[in-house]
Structure 1
């Protein structure tokens, strides 16, 4: 009795799928191990974190001094503070000094109030709304939806699509670069009212 041979195309397809899975796994591991988060040298140097006024693209004028103050009871030391009500982020240094503060455009799913940690970072991808994003810094999951800071590659600030559950907290490209540089894995994210 002859054993039936698999056609050549089946072998090629199987080997190709295995190779792609291996390459994808190695790419993810390299992204976690690389000091630049997997961006690669071709991306060039990233801007340093520096103070800025609120993003003009956010459609708001410069914030009043009381709006720019770090909310009380948001923790101590180096952290990212996100205010749900003010739709604002603060990057706070070890000395509790504000390094940068800016307004954001939240998705339709909000993170729970309290303390979270940056759990994963991704240099670029596609948001759940189909928009190309970069500087993706994940820190929470709410009702099965991942919540992350990011900026749209095209600079857009789209309103959440009605009926679509999105956890992306969008910001300008410059602010996204700042969060990427500041929000390394394990960084505390304090979510307040």
Structure 2
């Protein structure tokens, strides 16, 4: 019986991974038809529901805002009607913001990042441990894993996502960080 339970858990985890990996990055993209979740008859137990990666986290407030989910490594651009207009995955920095509400404090079209990489569409919203935290896109399109020895605050995204964030998150725009 333990073997069947372990197999069921593995199958559900695999399907959840596939669903999140294959989700469109832009909510304006044509929605996919979700595949059927395994049933209790095929897994030996109840199927675990999979969270829609396009759904805005419920604990992120209301109104127009940028939502950054630390555990999901994902950002949503949410309009005043509480609908995501764009969502994308990010590569977190080594220094993380504390969950809470912030405002965009400054922006730079193009600068050199704290890791030495040329970046664009820099949108800053807080400082932690003397490290400025903000979103940015590497001009060369890279999304490297940050050096864990260096204190960096750049939350990296793809260039197209940087374009969308730059247009959305002007000075004073709300940024909500959730766990």
Deviations 1:112-163 (A, max 9, x none): 1100000000000011100000000000101110001000000001111131
Looking at structure 1, the residues matched to 135 and 80 of structure 2 have their Cα atoms a distance apart, in angstroms, of 21
2:64 aligned with 1:78, yes or no? Answer: yes
Q: Which has the higher helix share?
A: 1
When normalised by structure 1's length, the TM-score is: 0.67
**Runs (4+) off by over 6 Å:** none
CA distance in 2, matches of 1:191, 1:65: 18
The reply to whether residue 54 of structure 1 matches residue 54 of structure 2 is no
Quote the Cα distance in structure 1 between the aligned partners of 2:100 and 2:161: 22
CA positional deviation for 1:67: 2.4
- Structure 2 contact 108–121 (Cα < 8 Å) conserved: yes
C-alpha separation in 1, matches of 2:82 and 2:139:
31
Unaligned residue ranges in structure 2 (runs of 5+): 1-22, 27-49
Mapped to 2, the partners of 1:120 and 1:188 lie a distance apart of 12
Greater Rg over alpha carbons, structure: 1
Conserved 8 A contact 2:54-2:84? no
Name which of 48, 69, 90 aligns with 1:104. 90
